[in-house]
Amino acid sequence: MSITLSNICKSYGSQQVLKKISFEIGSGEIVGFLGPNGAGKTTTMRILAGSLGYESGSAKICGEEVREKPMETKKNIGYLPEQNPLYTEMYVKEYLHFVAETYRMGKEAKKRVEEVIDLVGLRPEVRKKIVQLSKGYRQRVGLAQALIHNPKVLILDEPTTGLDPNQLVEIRNLIKEIGKNRTVLFSTHIMQEIEAVCNRVIIINKGEIVADYPDVKQLANFVGNEFQIEVEFSDWVENIPMKSIKSIETVDNKSFRITSGKDIRNEIFDFAVASDNKILAMRLLERKIEEVFRELTK
């Protein structure tokens, strides 16, 4: 696994901000890390990046314990904190060469700087000082410094905050491209970003993991171990005898809203066939991700 957290606890004074959180992220996954303000997202990411300690548990990057082998784990991590760490009076290329030197890249530095400039789309702005760049291009510089040493894991803390709609799309596409051959964990408050970029979402609330969906589409369909299905039959139905049904809301004698612990659309179809009835309409209800997020973190 590229990232492994196991029973991590972290407190600030008497306030416990992480309560035995655990998750694993494999190679090639792009994972959205969601949670309200103060939920523990940034604390978790700082622990993984090796910039913050923790009381108990285990945090591993590519199989190495973060606090036991900090230098080895940092070689495998590209970290972009929420406050982009840029020296704004430096030129773009000058800054990236400086970062490459901190990783002791030696003769490889010059070639890698040029590769990263092209990778993140900085070529049109490369002769400018960072202070002269727009917010979108500054974020590209931040991504470039995180990628300069070709890490296996990228940790991005709200990388699209403050961007305009065009810049949002550009950075999202960039993250998707970068994530094709790396593990990416990034936090965001923008629900559409999760749908557009991620193949998995983890939700944290009050220092605890409250949801982990390996398929982002499940987030809209499946909440609190429940599915909701609307079905309309052609003829009157007195009863739908299925053990997995938790509740049925009768719209009329032919239409129902069914809540179940699993997706039972195939079973409903079989029931209709067995009872010599027909299904006129059936759909799995989807809620907006914003609604699901509020329900899980309320």
Domain boundaries, the chain: 3-76+151-214, 88-142, 227-297
Each residue's pLDDT tens digit, 242-294: 888 888 888 888 899 998 888 899 999 999 999 999 999 999 876 667 777 77
CATH pick for 227-297 out of 3.30.559.10, 3.20.19.10, 3.40.50.720, 3.30.70.1560: 3.30.70.1560
Rounded mean pLDDT of 174-197?
Answer: 86
**Residue 225 clears pLDDT 80, i.e. is over it:** no
Report how far apart, in Å, the C-alpha atoms of 153 and of each of 81, 107, 161, 184, 274 are: 14, 23, 21, 6, 53
Domain 3-76+151-214 sits in CATH 3.40.50.300: yes
In sequence order, what are the residues at sequence separation of 6 or more whose Cβ sits closer than 8 angstroms to the Cβ of residue 287? 220, 223
**Residue 222 clears pLDDT 70, i.e. is over it:** no
pTM over 0.85: no
Report yes or no: 284 and 263 within 8 Å, Cβ to Cβ. Answer: yes
Task: Give the Cα separation of 90 and 220 in Å (integer).
Answer: 45
Mean of the per-residue pLDDT values of the chain: 89
Among 194, 199, 193, CA closest to 215: 199
Q: How many CA atoms lie within 13 A of 123 on its CB side?
A: 6
pLDDT computed for residue 291 by the predictor: 72
Report percent pLDDT > 90 for the chain.
62
Structure confidence at residue 218 as a pLDDT band (50, 70, 90): low
Q: How many CA atoms lie within 13 A of 222 on its CB side?
A: 14
**Residue 185 clears pLDDT 90, i.e. is over it:** yes
Each residue's pLDDT tens digit, 91-128: 999 999 999 999 999 999 999 999 999 989 899 999 99
Phi, psi of 193 (to 5 degrees): -65, -40
Angle, to 10 degrees, between the axis of helix 135-147 and the axis of helix 108-119? Answer: 140
pLDDT computed for residue 64 by the predictor: 95
